[in-house]
Structures are given as structure tokens and as C-alpha cells.
Amino acid sequence: MSKAKVLFLCTKNSVRSQMAEAFLKKYAGDRFEVYSAGLEPGEINPYTKKVMDEIDIDISDQRSKGLMEFMGKMHIGYLITVCSKAEERCPFFPGIAKRLHWPFDDPALFEGTEEEKLNKFREIRDQIKEKIQSWLKEIDNEV
């Protein structure tokens, strides 16, 4: 039986969707094929890499990707938008079984000292981790 494909979508694919991809791979990579993409892909934010490294999750093999790399090319079991802009602007496309919206603040927009910025990235990282873990429990309870 093939694994369900999960695509996390954000605006730039630089922070939240990258974190979500890494957490789902860590906690359920044996159950899902996990991807992330952005509507306007950019570079992965250096703070993203830093705060994931702090918890021993290496995302150095991940890269920022555009939605068109996936659109119409595979059946997506779950499309999960992790920011409101992506939810508003994401086009409908066939081949998606379920679409979910998990809005998280964009820590890249936070202004402050370097330590304050890192703390904001850690806060969002921890929220995403908790959401991934609770979603996996929900799925297990549905079966």
C-alpha cells in the first residue's frame, strides 16, 4: 500500500512549511510522503535552520520549492496550508483528497533583537510540533 502524500503550503516555503515538513517526516515519515512548497518560494530562513538544529532536526537537505512542482503531478492526500495568505491565494487543483488550514504567525515578520527573533521562531516551531503531534493522534483515532 502506498503512503499518503502530505503537502504543506506557505507563502515563501521558508519557515512554517519547512518546519511542518521536518516534524511530520520525523514523527510519521514511515506513514506519509511529506513535501512542502510556497506560492512565492524564497530561501529557507537561517533562523528556521537554527531553531530546528537546536532540537536535533537537520533540515539541510530540504529546499524551498514552488507549488507548481507538485500541482497536477501527483495525488495529494492532504494539502495543509500553514499561513493565511497561502490559504487565501492557493488555487483549487484536482488530485487533493483533503485540504486543511493550520494558521501560524510568520516569525520572519517579527521585529526585535536577535534573541527576541529566535524566541519567536522557537515559539512557532513548538506550536507546529504540537499541531503535528495532535493531528497524528486525531488520525489514529479515526481509524
Q: What is the pLDDT along the chain (143 residues), one digit of tens a residue?
A: 689 999 999 999 999 999 999 999 999 999 999 999 999 998 999 999 999 999 999 999 999 999 889 887 888 899 999 987 777 776 666 667 788 999 999 999 999 999 999 999 999 999 999 999 999 999 988 76
Residue 92 falls in the annotated catalytic set: no
State the cell numbers at 75: 495525488
Residue 83 falls in the annotated catalytic set: yes
Instruction: Give the start-to-end residue ranges of the domains of the chain.
Output: 4-142
Residue 10 falls in the annotated catalytic set: yes
Out of 39, 90, 124, 128, pick the active-site residue. 90
Instruction: Please tell me the distance from the alpha carbon of residue 37 to that of residue 90, in angstroms, as a whole number.
Output: 11
Closest to 125 (Cα-Cα) out of 51, 26, 41, 21: 51
Out of 19, 22, 76, 83, pick the active-site residue. 83
Identify each DSSP E strand in the chain by its residue range: 4-10, 32-38, 76-81, 96-101
Phi/psi at 55 (nearest 5 deg)?
A: -110, 25
CATH superfamily of 4-142: Response regulator (3.40.50.2300)
pTM: 0.93
